[in-house]
Amino acid sequence: MTGFSTSGRGRLYDSITDTVGNTPAVKLANISPAGVTVYVKAEFFNPAASVKDRLALSIIEHAERTGALTPGQTVVEATSGNTGIGLAMVCAAKGYPLVITMVETFSVERRRLMRMLGAKVILTPKAEKGTGMVRKAKELAEAHGWFFARQFETEANAAIHEATTGPEIVADFAGHRLDAVVTGYGTGGTFTGISRVLRRERPETKIYLAEPDAAPQVASGEVQPRNPDGTASASHPKAAAHPIQGWTPDFIPAVLQDGLDHTPPDAVLPVSGAEGMDWARRLAAREGILTGISGGATLAVAMKLAAKAAPGTVILAMLPDTGERYLSTPLFEAIEPEMTEEEREIMRSTPGVQM
């Protein structure tokens, strides 16, 4: 066996929240084009299996420090799932009740995970889109005096990626080439935070922002309607339904807009849901790495860049979460629960137990 260590982590942990961050960058050994190196930053190594664990912890601890959140106060947030799961983990560890609002179309695994972690999940109608779930969360916060996490606007969002995710990338690639980083966006916190760091520390590294081809909100250049507090006042003109769960609500979040304004990407690149699912399946079958549709979509963009890149190019793709969060989605539709004919042939190849 190679690559194993028996030294542990060299410390004991007082809380599950202490294990957030320090996720690995993993080289793809089997599916990268010849002469080009592609790494993935595996955010599913966070304790609740997504990049949003960083955001959840940052929101709660920032609110504790500023006095915006008091002991025992209920937290409420609108989410497509991963932020809610992260918040449920953090709130369970810290003793805060949590109420989540979520559009009814998102995968059932996500609601079950949040409820397993002690949260209450309020579903909002599909027709109301992301703006509807945000509006409901705001109403509940105002009506009951709850703390509204405001992941799409809070300064604690990009700040945690500037403090942790970006420096981790810089540290991991210290002394090594890094030509490009590819990330998608939900709130935009990952993009905005790591862009601040890379523009300072690795200015030679290009930053690519991926978004669904069916909803080219950023690429369109059209302005997002906003309220004075930065929240979206209406859906973006280019908002549209797409299968990449966790990416692009029907508005451009204020957190993302800050990054677009101050550390803009080198390019905004489109990707389809079908491409995302295809590359997620390839990554699992050829590299043994499970990611969701959004991770597959980020990888799809990275692979398009890699296919045209000069020999020696090094690219890093962000993988936001794990594939197990998508069992009830189209990502797994082609994965049969019953034995295939090939599997039956293997079964029949020996005379023992038959079905």
165 assigned to a ligand binding site: no
Q: Residue 355 corresponds to which tokens in the numbers above?
A: 């079905």
Q: Which residues of 200-217 are buried (b: 16+ CB within 10 A; e: fewer)?
A: eebeebbbbbbbbbbbbb
Judge whether 190 is annotated as a binding position.
yes
Could you give the angle at the alpha carbon of 52 between the alpha carbons of 48 and 54, nearest 5°? 90
Residue 84 assigned ligand-binding role: no
From the list 202, 160, 163, 164, the residue with the least C-alpha distance to 181 is 202
Residue 189 in marked binding region: yes
| Catalytic choice (32, 41, 50, 52) | 52
Contacts of 74 (CB under 8 A, 6+ apart): 96, 97, 98, 99, 144, 146, 147
Tell me whether residue 184 is annotated as binding: no
Q: Whole-angstrom Cα distance, residue 79 to residue 21?
A: 21
Is residue 308 part of the annotated active site? The answer reads no
Nearest CA to 152 out of 93, 64, 263, 227 is that of: 227
Instruction: Point out the catalytic residue in the list 41, 80, 294, 304.
Output: 294
Do 78 and 49 meet the contact criterion of CB atoms below 8 Å apart? no
Q: Which two tokens stand for residue 282?
A: 């390839």
Residue 3, Cβ density class (10 Å: 0-12 exposed, 13-18 middle, ≥19 buried) = exposed
Q: What are 154's two structure tokens? A: 């809070």
Q: Is 52 a catalytic residue?
A: yes
Backbone angles phi, psi at 319, to 5 degrees: -110, 105
Burial of 29 (C-beta count, 10 Å sphere; 0-12/13-18/19+): exposed
Report the alpha-carbon distance of residue 187 to residue 255 in Å, rounded.
Answer: 6
Binding residues for pyridoxal 5'-phosphate, as ranges, are 82, 186-190, 294
Q: Any idea which residues carry the catalytic annotation?
A: 52, 294
- Return binding residues: 82, 186-190, 294
